[in-house]
Amino acid sequence: MCVCVCVFEDCPFRFENCKKQHGVDDNKKSSVILVAVVLCPQSCPLRRDREQVGVAAVLRTRICTSRPETTSVLRRDAAMRGSKRCRRDRPVCMTNCPTLIVMVGLPARGKTYISKKLTRYLNWIGVPTKEFNVGQYRRECLKIYKNFEFFRPDNEEGLKIRRQCALSALNDVRQYLCMEGGQVAVFDATNTTRERRDTITRFAEQNGFKVFFVESVCEDPDVIAENIVQVKLGSPDYIDCNTEEAVADFMKRIKCYENSYQPLDEGLDRELSYIKIMDVGRRYLVNRVLDHIQSRIVYYLMNIHITPRSIYLCRHGESDLNVRGRIGGDSGLTSRGKEYAKSLGHFIQEQNIKDLKVWTSQMKRTIQTAEALAVPYEQWKALNEIDAGVCEEMMYEEIQEHFPLEFALRDQDKYRYRYPKGESYEDLVQRLEPVIMELERQENVLVICHQAVMRCLLAYFLDKSAEELPYLKCPLHTVLKLTPVAYGCKVESIFLNVEAVNTHRDKPENVDISRPTEEALLTVPAHQ
């Protein structure tokens, strides 16, 4: 009996001697099931939401999309029982073939910036993605970086090591995509020669991966210099150098690559799928987009930019329902909430932000907050708070009283749990995707939204996992200023000095469906 809940022979998580590996006792049947669920990693595309019927926990597995016969069996059950807690599919994003994204370009062309950003985006929309930076493999191998001579094209020893590192990285890519449930791998290296790219293409063909190249071409010396200052000087390679030395060495490093650089060619490479990004997005050449995920990647890459700007995230001012400890609804601001709106107006004025755009949801409390700013604002339905379905406008105490099972299920998997006739955080992420895309296109924006919505947006910018997302702290009357810097985001938290209730409920210790009421309500914040 295998602990892995997945029934398919080729499930990457099914182990021959799983009992031994996971130290499971045959006699303790229930512990087997629990262990299995814990072991099936979140990222496994074969994992599914758990369903509990009555008191007996029935834990079932996600259907592998390549097995139609089992798909229909499980779906029939789901259909008969009611679809509100049915599994939801990523709309067509899951091709059965994993995709290998291959970065191409000289050093300091933004490859790692693009890799990390793309990885963050794909993970946020639910496509398990991981980046593999060959430079890191080289640092592990070499331990100490002396100087640019390592990269000279006539340095035989250096070439050998670099080739080994690339192969080692590709091996890990294979491991990730075949065994660990990854869907997309980003191979972050210069890959500047046709020979290297052919090696990668062959590797992908052998393993049944689709390949998509992302080439970054840039000749603007200012952009390159800015890159070097922002991310190269702080690299482990230059830890003991001063700025001038580091810059001089890095420029020589780039020179080593320049002579053998063979950019993707419209003629020779016309059978490949790729996007060539020229001059940080001024121009794009897109060739042979094969499927949905590549189309989404292209769309994303064409919408991001590196112009310095800041994104301000905040919630509406304190609302009447907040004060009474009730979730959802569409109430107006309390007097403290109105005070906050005024403070927000002053704050914005002081910050002197160039061309600030203000966005709100279509709910009263955000609109009233924006009104106090006396600037034009846009309302997005997509920014509306999570729909709590049958639990709308209830207090947590009432939810515990009327729907104790639901309350416990939510605590067990707050990200995927969908309120009956409502939404889940996972649904929210889907509906917020166009907002994120537009945020990427824009420059300075202030988004006045809601707790769950703000958590989703924050998770995108700060690369938080699905587990952390629903518990991110987004208190009322606090503005978070996000400024993209190097490969990530700088966060400044500014409390605008107007008191408000706390609406943050931590995950309680006991999430069992048969827990006593006090334990369920342990972490509920105080209210009227």
Partner 1 sequence: MRERGSLSAAKGALLARQHVVGAERAHPDAPAEDLGSMVGTCLHFSLFTNSPTVIVMVGLPARGKTYISKKLARYLNWIGVNTAVFNLGQYRREAVQTYKNYEFFRPDNEEAMKIRRNCASNALTDIGAYFTKEQGQVAVFDATNTTRERRGLILSFAKEKGYKVFFVESVCDDPDIIEQNIMQVKLSSPDYENCDKEEALEDFLKRIECYKMTYVPLDEEKDRHLSYIKIFNVGSRYLVNRVQDHIQSRIVYYLMNIHVTPRSIYLSRHGESDLNLLGRIGGDSGLSTRGQMYASALAAFVQSQSIRDLKVWTSHMKRTIQTAEALGVPYEQWKALNEIDAGMCEEMTYEEIQGHHPEEFALRDQDKYRYRYPKGESYEDMVHRLEPVIMELERQENVLVICHQAVMRCLLAYFLDKSADELPYLRCPLHTVLKLTPVAYGCKVESIFLNVQAVNTHREKPPNVDINRKTEDALQTVPEHV
Which of the residues are catalytic? 316, 385
Select the residue interacting with partner 1 from 17, 381, 526, 528 (CB under 8 A).
Answer: 381
303 has binding-site annotation:
no
Rounded least distance, CB 454 to partner 1, Å: 18
Instruction: Return the C-alpha torsion angle 233, 234, 235, 236, nearest 10.
Output: 120
Rounded least distance, CB 404 to partner 1, Å: 23
Task: Mention every residue, 6+ apart, whose C-beta is less than 8 A from residue 237.
Answer: 139, 145
| Residue 474, CA distances (Å) to 52, 80, 197, 356, 388 in order | 31, 39, 45, 22, 18
Number of residues that bind partner 1 (CB under 8 A): 56
- Number of C-alpha atoms within 13 angstroms, CB side, residue 147? 9
Q: Is 303 in the site for partner 1 (CB under 8 A)?
A: yes
Residue closer to partner 1 (CB basis): 133 or 322: 322
3-state secondary structure 485-509: ECCEEEEEEEECCCCCCCCCCCCCC
Q: Read off the tokens for 77.
A: 């059950």
Select the residue interacting with partner 1 from 68, 153, 236, 525 (CB under 8 A).
Answer: 68
Residue closer to partner 1 (CB basis): 92 or 144: 92
318 has binding-site annotation:
yes
Asked if 297 and 110 touch (Cβ cutoff 8 Å), the reply is no
346 has binding-site annotation:
no
Residue closer to partner 1 (CB basis): 253 or 296: 296
Q: Is 332 in the site for partner 1 (CB under 8 A)?
A: yes
Q: Which stretch, 4-12, 87-95, 176-184, 474-482, contacts partner 1 (CB under 8 A)?
A: 87-95
Q: Read off the tokens for 3.
A: 């602990």
Q: Is 91 in the site for partner 1 (CB under 8 A)?
A: yes
Q: Partners of 278 in the beta sheet?
A: 217, 283
Select the residue interacting with partner 1 from 14, 19, 60, 75 (CB under 8 A).
Answer: 75
365 has binding-site annotation:
yes
Q: Read off the tokens for 157.
A: 């020893």
Residue closer to partner 1 (CB basis): 180 or 427: 427
Report which residue type is found at 60.
R
The edge-to-edge listing of strands for the beta sheet with 478-485 is 378-379, 357-360, 445-449, 311-315, 478-485, 488-495
Query: What residues from 421 to 440 belong to the interface with partner 1 (CB under 8 A)?
Result: 427, 430, 434-435, 438
Q: Determine the Cα–Cα distance for residues 62 and 46; give it in Å rounded to an integer.
A: 5
Residue closer to partner 1 (CB basis): 237 or 339: 339
Contacts 24+ apart (CB under 8 A), 25-30: 26/1
Q: Is 82 in the site for partner 1 (CB under 8 A)?
A: yes
Asked if 3 and 39 touch (Cβ cutoff 8 Å), the reply is yes
Select the residue interacting with partner 1 from 202, 270, 490, 507 (CB under 8 A).
Answer: 270
Q: Which stretch, 67-75, 145-153, 158-166, 208-216, contacts partner 1 (CB under 8 A)?
A: 67-75
Best CA proximity match to 454, nearest among 309, 314, 312: 314
Select the residue interacting with partner 1 from 118, 298, 341, 399 (CB under 8 A).
Answer: 298
Residue closer to partner 1 (CB basis): 182 or 329: 329
| Residue 458, CA distances (Å) to 232, 368, 416 in order | 27, 23, 17
Rounded least distance, CB 192 to partner 1, Å: 22
Select the residue interacting with partner 1 from 376, 514, 526, 528 (CB under 8 A).
Answer: 376
88 has binding-site annotation:
no
Q: Determine the Cα–Cα distance for residues 477 and 448; give it in Å rounded to an integer.
A: 11
502 has binding-site annotation:
no
Q: Is 393 in the site for partner 1 (CB under 8 A)?
A: no
Q: Determine the Cα–Cα distance for residues 167 and 127; give it in Å rounded to an integer.
A: 25
Residue closer to partner 1 (CB basis): 185 or 382: 382
Q: Determine the Cα–Cα distance for residues 73 and 56; give it in Å rounded to an integer.
A: 21
Q: Which stretch, 23-31, 81-89, 247-255, 499-507, contacts partner 1 (CB under 8 A)?
A: 81-89
Asked if 260 and 192 touch (Cβ cutoff 8 Å), the reply is yes
Q: Is 96 in the site for partner 1 (CB under 8 A)?
A: no
Select the residue interacting with partner 1 from 57, 78, 231, 472 (CB under 8 A).
Answer: 78
Q: Determine the Cα–Cα distance for residues 393 and 327; give it in Å rounded to an integer.
A: 5
Q: Determine the Cα–Cα distance for residues 288 and 152; give it in Å rounded to an integer.
A: 34
Q: Is 258 in the site for partner 1 (CB under 8 A)?
A: no
Select the residue interacting with partner 1 from 368, 369, 400, 503 (CB under 8 A).
Answer: 368
Select the residue interacting with partner 1 from 19, 62, 194, 364 (CB under 8 A).
Answer: 364
Annotated binding site: 315-322, 365
Residues forming contacts to partner 1 in the complex (CB under 8 A) are 65, 68, 71-72, 75-76, 78-80, 82-84, 86-89, 91-92, 266, 270, 282-289, 292, 295, 298-299, 302-303, 330-332, 357, 362, 364, 367-368, 371, 376-382, 427, 430, 434-435, 438, 441
The annotation places the binding site for substrate at 315-322, 365
